[in-house]
Amino acid sequence: MSTNQFVTSKPKLSIIQLPDQGMTKKDFIDDFKQYYIHLLGRDERCRSPFYAGEALSLAIRDRLMERWKITHHTYKNNDCKRVFYLSMEFLMGRTLSNAMLNLGVSDVATQAMYDLGIDIEELIDSEPDAGLGNGGLGRLAACFIDSCATLQLPAIGYGLRYEYGMFTQTISNGEQLEKPDHWLRHGNVWEIERLEYSHRIKFGGYSRIQEDASGRQQFCWMDTHDVLAVPFDTPVPGYRNGTVNSLRLWKAVATEEFNFDEFNAGDYPEAVAAKTTAENITMVLYPNDANENGKELRLRQQYFLASASLQDVTTHWASLHGEDFCHFAEKSCFQLNDTHPCIAIAELMRLLMDVHSLTWDAAWAITRSTMAYTNHTLLPEALEKWPVKMMQRLLPRLMDIIFEINARFLTEVSMRWPGDSERLRRMSIIEEGPQQQVRMAYLAIVGSFSVNGVAALHSRLLQQDLFRDFHELWPHKFNNKTNGVTPRRWLAACNPELASLLTETIGDSWITDLSQLKKLEPYAEDAQFRQRWRDLKKAAKQRLIDFKKQQHNIDLNVDALFDVQVKRIHEYKRQLLNVLHVIYLYNRIKKGDTENWLARCVLIGGKAAPGYRMAKKIIKLIKNVAQVINSDPEIGAKLALIFLPDYRVSAMEKICPGADLSEQISTAGKEASGTGNMKFMMNGALTIGTLDGANIEIREEVGDENFFLFGLTEEQIATRRDHYDPVAIINQDDELQQVIYLLESGHFNQFEPGIFDDILVSIKSPHDPWMTIADFRSFVDAQKRVEDAYQDKDRWTKMSILNCANSGKFSTDRTITEYNRDIWKLKPQPVKPK
């Protein structure tokens, strides 16, 4: 038998006609029973929501299969250009409800389950989240592939199939505990393993030059320790259009030969240990958002993703076109989600030269016209650098290539700016110093034809500050693509009641053309419509209270203002500023300053990176302040502070419909875009925010009168920084002084002396990078404007309607249309159902 026993030379298999599964209620009931009773072997009388969910998922998956195959053949037959979206993270969340929505079978499936006496919500809620990401960056990748499928663009998502996703967060004694998230424990019905498309990934060894028979110099990478990359494919259905794209996630598996050598040497335990080392590569997601730590395993993960994905693309190309790569660049584009997969630039050079025998110049021309890089952060601590030593040891051939890319690049720079050695030092891909490092962002810029930021302000700052030299050299490479979120998951699926009202009012075209929401604007003046809008928001708040009650035993007041900040815990996102405001409100109640008081419920949620001490302290502070406030009878219903544990995609689907106020309060110039802000806006929450990231564009769309702006601008932050004196600001503001006094006197940590000292030191420091104190008064004033607006019900409801009506820009359908127009240039490929 040949090495690849799975692939037949003639496509005989495609002749097999599968019955097209029916879409009636009876069809679903029949299939559900078949799977539940026969395949899963469960008892009809003793129902488990989890297995019932699996049975329904299998029935839904069947209906995706034929469409998946037809989509694949359509792309193949049309020989169309494709985009490959490379991302270390895909924060997919749950699949079932989204698949039903996009297939157009939500109602019929709900009815079918109802007839069987099953509440479909229970099944939906029993599915574990696919939490293969940290936050915004990973969720963006998930929204992007949804929009690509809906726009019928031939796109493949490439990522890693981590055995353990983002950790589960629990809180004990006010502190975050991390529990491993073994999301695959019960299997995953949505993925299909495709052993036949496995690839071999090299690590270690050494590289050297050999002459082949014709005297040509050939690079060899030898004595490597190889690992197999095995793909698992998940279907990505477009919205009711027959398209089903793929998300291909790689799993690391030990090669047989590797173990075999060790067995021969008689080292059985070493062989098993080596297997574990190989398989460790995709064992766990690194739980750090916006900061890097130079761990070798992380570099292994990055190369594993890049090499597996590029081999997949280039071997597929060679299987169709042989070694002729002349037209490869016309038919392929790689979008790199941050620098994490950017080693792909050197890897494509290696594959084209060492495997497919192209010259440097030919390979470089292809690389530079197929790679596109998206930057996600301006924070210096988040810019990836890898020690040259580590790369030489782990990826020697890749390091050779990076040195060569750099040498040629620096020649280009010195021709443009002769004699400017300072500039050469600044722009070099290799940072000199006690230990040489590879600046991955610079490699990304040099090796790609497009560099984009993720919101207008962010892209401008990239060009003016972080990548200024590169922008001067290649202004045409730089562009902006403001982020978005998919309106299928973040409105249609997560808020079906609001979705029905929208469809009843303006038709259903908003689901694939979110700018249609603009048609809602006149209804802001319709009192009857406003009443319905209010009723829906109240029902969504009640559902959020019920969701909360499952874990917590606290009763929230549905008429209070629901003031929500959910996102990763990070100093730049300034959860501390939110807490200072809560303490300020608490202090006012204690002083009796409560005339015209508005009841407020402040909800904060988010995970801290396990090694980020300050972020963990912030969680502890929130919990301690909550403890004091929520148990004080004098405070009563006037104010509540709740920490929402284990913030994740499925939690956000319950949280964003029930929010009145969305907190987007980062230090200006620090949040690249934000996408939580967009989910809240779509669901009719009003934003209190700084002029940062996409907040600026949200305010532009909705109008200043429907947005609560506060805080210093990015320019003001930059100029104030030199003479920032938070202690002086505190001394001049009585109320702020009282807030700081409560903290310093240990009011919230009576039996835990000193635990918040480092927080106090950081916010009182003239070097506080986040300048929390500088924005306190402005934030409090904006919160007063929020209260005034909320107390005028009609005014608030109008503003809420207008926020939803003007959220059209923030659909990833718009974002992806721009990526395609400016960068990818793919033709949509409509899929004709049989």
Ligand X SMILES: *Cc1c(COP(=O)(O)O)cnc(C)c1O
Residues at the site binding ligand X, with contacts judged by CB under 6 A: 135-136, 139, 567-568, 648-649, 652, 674-676, 679
Dihedrals phi, psi of 373, to nearest 5 degrees:
-120, 130
Min dist. Cβ of residue 674 to ligand X (A): 4
Min dist. Cβ of residue 650 to ligand X (A): 8
Q: Which residues of 740-754 are buried (b: 16+ CB within 10 A; e: fewer)?
A: bebbeeeebbeeeee
∠ CA 313-318-319 to the nearest 5 degrees?
Answer: 100
∠ CA 570-576-580 to the nearest 5 degrees?
Answer: 170
Do 629 and 157 form a contact (C-beta atoms < 8 A)? no
Q: How far apart are CA 444 and CA 462, in angstroms?
A: 14
Min dist. Cβ of residue 458 to ligand X (A): 12
Q: Which is nearer to ligand X, 97 or 207 (CB)?
A: 97
Annotated catalytic residue 675: yes
Q: How far apart are CA 458 and CA 470, in angstroms?
A: 16
Q: What is the CA radius of gyration of the chain?
A: 28
Min dist. Cβ of residue 135 to ligand X (A): 4
Do 358 and 430 form a contact (C-beta atoms < 8 A)? no
Annotated catalytic residue 476: no
Single out the catalytic residue among 82, 439, 567, 620.
Answer: 567
Q: Which is nearer to ligand X, 235 or 484 (CB)?
A: 484
Q: How many helices (H) and strands (E) does the chain have?
A: 33, 25
Q: Which is nearer to ligand X, 154 or 676 (CB)?
A: 676
Min dist. Cβ of residue 692 to ligand X (A): 11
Single out the catalytic residue among 573, 617, 648, 798.
Answer: 573
Annotated catalytic residue 573: yes
Q: How far apart are CA 315 and CA 479, in angstroms?
A: 31
Annotated catalytic residue 426: no
Do 254 and 228 form a contact (C-beta atoms < 8 A)? yes
Q: Which is nearer to ligand X, 463 or 687 (CB)?
A: 687
Min dist. Cβ of residue 625 to ligand X (A): 21
- Residue 187 exposed, middle or buried by CB count within 10 Å (0-12, 13-18, 19+): exposed
Q: Nearest CA to 103 among 21, 41, 29, 171?
A: 21
Annotated catalytic residue 376: yes
Single out the catalytic residue among 248, 489, 541, 568.
Answer: 568
Q: Which is nearer to ligand X, 363 or 494 (CB)?
A: 494
Min dist. Cβ of residue 344 to ligand X (A): 25
Which residue has the closest beta carbon to ligand X? 676
Q: How far apart are CA 579 and CA 769, in angstroms?
A: 18
Q: Which residues of 505-543 are buried (b: 16+ CB within 10 A; e: fewer)?
A: ebeeebbbebebbeebeebbeeeebbebbeebbeebbee
Q: Which is nearer to ligand X, 658 or 676 (CB)?
A: 676
Q: Which is nearer to ligand X, 131 or 205 (CB)?
A: 131
Q: Which residues of 616-637 are buried (b: 16+ CB within 10 A; e: fewer)?
A: bbbbbbbbbbbebbeeeeebee
Q: At what angle do helices 793-805 and 527-549 cross, to 10 degrees?
A: 80
Single out the catalytic residue among 42, 251, 275, 376.
Answer: 376
Single out the catalytic residue among 42, 439, 600, 679.
Answer: 679
Min dist. Cβ of residue 440 to ligand X (A): 22
Min dist. Cβ of residue 705 to ligand X (A): 24
Single out the catalytic residue among 168, 675, 687, 797.
Answer: 675
SS (H, E, C) 185-230: CCCCCCCEECHHHCEEECCCCEEEEEECCCCCEEEEEECCCCEEEE
∠ CA 282-284-286 to the nearest 5 degrees?
Answer: 115
Do 285 and 162 form a contact (C-beta atoms < 8 A)? yes
Q: How far apart are CA 228 and CA 308, in angstroms?
A: 9
Q: Which is nearer to ligand X, 530 or 567 (CB)?
A: 567
Q: Which is nearer to ligand X, 136 or 287 (CB)?
A: 136
Contacts of 7 (CB under 8 A, 6+ apart): 196
Active site (catalytic) residues: 376, 567-568, 573, 675, 679
